[in-house]
Amino acid sequence: MKRNATLLIATLILAGAGLSFAGDSATDGVVTDNRELVEMPAETQAMMRAEMRDHLMALSSIMGYLADNDLATAAEVAEERLGRSSMGKHKGTRRGMGPGKYMPKEMKKIGHGMHDAASRFATVAASGDLNGSYVALHDVVAACAACHTSFRIR
Ligand code: HEC
């Protein structure tokens, strides 16, 4: 409860100060979106966005397990939903319609980096090292942030 209240206050302060956010720049109150547009078919876009929402759910559940000191389950969730094991899962749904083939090289690299980081996190968490798990989880979140700052699909 206390953590939620702190987050809310921080959000309100940021909004009130009218700061510009990562990937944007603001001149005289006009915000420019500097992210590179990556075009893909509507179906692929919807697939990617659904996958992204699952990434966020997975991250939330991983943090919950860490808070409960359940590192084994945090490791499982990370490997299955964010790690290398989760890669290429769209191929079964509709061949050739996955987002990967539309991504510029740099974007793909960040994506692979995120899957690698999640698998590394899973290994560290499975070993029972809580502090190491936080360090490894930061690499995962840093990859989310790096990609979101640089690319958009609409
Ligand atoms: C390789 C690039 C890349 C990585 C890595 C990445 N994302 Fe995304 N994500 C995107 C792009 C591009 C969008 C769409 C932005 C737009 O609307 O144009 C997006 C959208 C989202 C959305 C909004 C979905 C919707 O319904 O519109 C969420 C939530 C999200 N990402 C969460 C995450 C989380 C959490 C991670 C890390 C675990 C992550 N993403 C990693 C590129 C990435």
Q: What is the pTM of this model?
A: 0.87
Q: Which residues contact 150 (CB under 8 A, 6 or more apart)?
A: 23, 35, 36, 106, 107, 110
Q: How far is CA 20 from CA 13, 17, 31, 130, in A?
A: 13, 9, 7, 34
The binding-site residues of ligand 1, defined as CB within 6 angstroms of any ligand atom, are 49, 52-53, 55-56, 59, 82, 107, 110-111, 114, 140, 143-144, 147-148, 151-154
For the CA of 152, the closest atom of ligand 1 is 18
Q: Do residues 77 and 122 touch, judged by C-beta distance below 8 A?
A: no
Phi first, then psi: what are they for 9, rounded to 5°?
-65, -45
CATH number for domain 21-152, candidates 2.30.30, 3.55.50, 1.20.120, 1.10.3470: 1.20.120
If one residue of 121, 148, 149 were mutated to test the ligand 1 pocket, choosing by the most ligand atoms within 8 A of its CB, it would be: 148
Domains of the chain by residue range: 21-152
Per residue in 55-96, pLDDT (tens digit) is 999 999 999 999 999 999 999 999 999 999 998 776 545 566
Token pair of 3, please?
A: 């953590």
Per residue in 23-40, pLDDT (tens digit) is 777 888 888 999 999 999
State the pLDDT confidence band at 124, using cuts at 50, 70 and 90.
Answer: very high
Per residue in 1-23, pLDDT (tens digit) is 455 555 555 554 445 455 566 77
